[in-house]
Structure formats: structure tokens, C-alpha cells
């Protein structure tokens, strides 16, 4: 397994398939690659078995493994903890929880697409 960061790759972790696909489509239309995961457990599998994204977009409220549990697991893994995480949540409390758990940024749902792309560019550079 390579530990090289794949420039321009964004991991989208969102349990709602329509939202996950819409976000990925917008990101891909801006010339980034995406990896999609329906929950934190799937996201960890993809991180441990594939290319390193330049940023992770993380929903907090998900079944199987929610965003809080994902962040705790990611931060305890030396190989993954340096990947910045942007928390996506409709709840203001989600912002506080995400930033307290080492999230690099917070975007409130519904997501402003211009703000989303600007945030991705901050971590991944412009494609």
C-alpha cells in the first residue's frame, strides 16, 4: 500500500446517496477525483486500501459508524491523522463537535457549492 497523497482526490463520506452523488459530481466537474463512502467504516476501509485524498468531506450523522467515531478512529491512526477533515452538518452543534475533534473546517448543510469548492481548493490546490 502506498502512503503517497493522491493530489486532487477528495473522499466524500455521506450516507445519503443522492447528496453523496451530487457532491461528488460537483467536485468531479471541477477536475478533482472523488472516492465515495456511505459511512465511516467504509471510509476507513477505502483510506487504508487506496490512494490518500487531499481532504475528507465528512457527514456527522450516519449509520454503522458516524462522523464522530470516524474522526476518533482517524486521529488514532498515525497513517491517516494528517489528512484534513471538513465536517458537513446541518446542526450547529456538529460544528463544535467536529472542530473539537480536530476537524480542519466546517460547512453547514445545505452546502453552498462555491464555498465547498473554495474549501477543497484550500486543501487540494486548484485543479
Residue 58, pLDDT > 60, answer yes
- The pLDDT, as a whole number, for residue 99 is 46
Q: Which residues of 93-103 are buried (b: 16+ CB within 10 A; e: fewer)?
A: ebbebbeebeb
pLDDT in tens, 96-112: 544 455 788 899 889 99
- The pLDDT, as a whole number, for residue 2 is 43
Q: What is the pTM of this model?
A: 0.86
**Structural domains present in the chain:** 9-122 (3.40.50.2300)
- CA–CA gap between residue 15 and residue 37 (Å, rounded): 8
- CA–CA gap between residue 3 and residue 6 (Å, rounded): 9
Cell of 42: 467504509
* Residue 65: band (very low, low, confident or very high) from pLDDT cuts 50, 70, 90: confident
Mean pLDDT calculated for residue range 1-21 = 77
- CA–CA gap between residue 110 and residue 1 (Å, rounded): 36
Residue 124, pLDDT > 50, answer yes
Amino acid at each position: 500500500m502506498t502512503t503517497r497523497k493522491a493530489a486532487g482526490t477528495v473522499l466524500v463520506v455521506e450516507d445519503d446517496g443522492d447528496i453523496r452523488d451530487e457532491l461528488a459530481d460537483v467536485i468531479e466537474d471541477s477536475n478533482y477525483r472523488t472516492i465515495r463512502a456511505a459511512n465511516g467504516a467504509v471510509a476507513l476501509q477505502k483510506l487504508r486500501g487506496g490512494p490518500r485524498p487531499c481532504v475528507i468531506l465528512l457527514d456527522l450523522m450516519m449509520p454503522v459508524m458516524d462522523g464522530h467515531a470516524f474522526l476518533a478512529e482517524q486521529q488514532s491512526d498515525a497513517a491517516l491523522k494528517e489528512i484534513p477533515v471538513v465536517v458537513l452538518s446541518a446542526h450547529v452543534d456538529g460544528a463544535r463537535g467536529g472542530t473539537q475533534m480536530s476537524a480542519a473546517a466546517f460547512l453547514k448543510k445545505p452546502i453552498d457549492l462555491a464555498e465547498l469548492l473554495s474549501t477543497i481548493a484550500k486543501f487540494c490546490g486548484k485543479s
